Every structure is written in C-alpha cells, then in structure tokens.
C-alpha cells in the first residue's frame, strides 16, 4: 500500500498481483488487491475481489471495509445501509469509526441528513485517535466541505496515517476541485 500512497499505482498493482499469484489462498493479499483496484478507480474489479474474499471469510474486516468503500463510491447508499445492518446483527463488536462514518455517508446519500449530522457530531465528539478523516468524510457527504477541509488539514498536520490515501479516496471526490483540497494534496507530495 506504500506504493499507492506514493501514487505509483501500476507498481502497486503489479506487486499485489504477484503476492496473490505466489499465495492465492492468502486472504490479506487478496484483500490488498481489492484495495489497489479501489484506489485505481476500478470499482468493478475491486467489488468482485472483496466479494470473493468475503465468500471465504465473511468476517474479514479489510474486505468488509473495502466492499463498503466500493459501494459508497458507486453511490449505492441503500445497499450500504443494508449490509451494515446485516453485519451488525448478532455482533458484539464495538462500532468501528469507519463503519460509523460509512453509515453517515449512506444516510446523507439517502436524504436522511439529520441522522447523518448526528453521526458526524458523534464522530467529532468521540476520542480522537488518528485524525478526523472519518468525520470529514461524513461532512463532505453533508455538503460541508469547508469544515471537512479544516479537519483534513489538522489530520495532515498531525501526520495521521489516515491521510496517506486522500489522493485516491473516493469519499473525498466532491472536494477534488476545491483549491484548498488541491493545495493540501500538493503539500503532502508523497512522490518525493
């Protein structure tokens, strides 16, 4: 994934495909392949890869997160809500910030703005462990790009690992033409 952060997508894809070829049974390698497909923008390949992994191990967190990312990128919000609700059934796991943010984005996408705002507020009031990238993603979905950009700038200043993939994260596509977001990405310049 280091190569993705450095914007070396072809090399990243080649490396992870080699890893899968060496060990086709490796669930982590296959999930990593799905993430590289996602970051390259090939959502069809990413979705298929994540679904294949989940058919083998339906609880594999990275594949679950990857599938949700793909569905959010495709604006399949109702499907995301259904999947998240299904995974929550019978689970005693605490709510992961990523999945909480995904629910907020999906709620905003289905017009349930008050509920989405409550999730953004919950993320902002919770313990901050690694920047506020998840809260920023919900704010983007709510159309509050200004507050989202402020949170992302703070996360970059904190050197949050969660900012490494901003350049390719579809949750922030609505900010791509914002001059402040462009400056933020240019300032990160992982190619050096």
Consecutive sets of 10 residues in the chain, 192 residues long: mean pLDDT of each? 77 90 95 94 95 93 93 96 81 73 96 96 79 91 95 89 87 94 84 45
Which option is the CATH number for 1-74: 3.40.50.460, 3.90.190.20, 1.25.40.10, 3.40.50.300? 1.25.40.10
CA pair distance 74, 112, nearest whole angstrom: 18
Please tell me the predicted confidence (pLDDT) of residue 189: 67
Sequence ranges of the domains in the chain = 1-74, 76-192
Give the whole-angstrom CA distance, residue 58 versus residue 42.
22
pLDDT at position 192 is 41
Residues 6+ apart with CB under 8 A from 67: 34, 47, 50, 51, 54, 83
Which segments of 6-96 does DSSP mark as H helices, in order? 9-22, 27-40, 43-56, 61-73, 77-88
Provide the whole-model pTM.
Answer: 0.88
CA-to-CA separations, 13 to 66, 83, 162, 163, in angstroms, rounded: 16, 27, 20, 20
Residues 46/38, Cβ–Cβ less than 8 Å: yes
pLDDT given at position 118: 96
């Amino acid at each position: 994934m280091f190569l993705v952060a450095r914007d070396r997508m072809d090399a990243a894809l080649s490396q992870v495909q080699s890893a899968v070829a060496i060990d086709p049974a490796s669930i982590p390698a296959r999930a990593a392949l799905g993430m590289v497909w996602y970051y390259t923008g090939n959502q069809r390949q990413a979705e298929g890869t994540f679904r294949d992994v989940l058919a083998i191990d339906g609880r594999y967190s990275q594949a679950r997160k990857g599938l949700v990312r793909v569905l959010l990128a495709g604006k399949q919000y109702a499907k995301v809500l259904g999947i998240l609700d299904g995974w929550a059934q019978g689970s005693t796991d605490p709510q992961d910030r990523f999945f909480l943010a995904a629910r907020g984005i999906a709620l905003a996408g289905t017009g349930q703005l008050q509920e989405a705002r409550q999730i953004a507020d919950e993320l902002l009031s919770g313990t901050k462990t690694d920047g506020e990238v998840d809260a920023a993603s919900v704010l983007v979905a709510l159309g509050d790009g200004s507050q989202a950009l402020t949170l992302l700038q703070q996360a970059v200043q904190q050197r949050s690992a969660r900012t490494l993939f901003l350049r390719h994260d579809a949750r922030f596509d609505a900010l791509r033409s914002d001059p402040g977001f462009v400056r933020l990405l240019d300032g990160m310049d992982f190619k050096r």
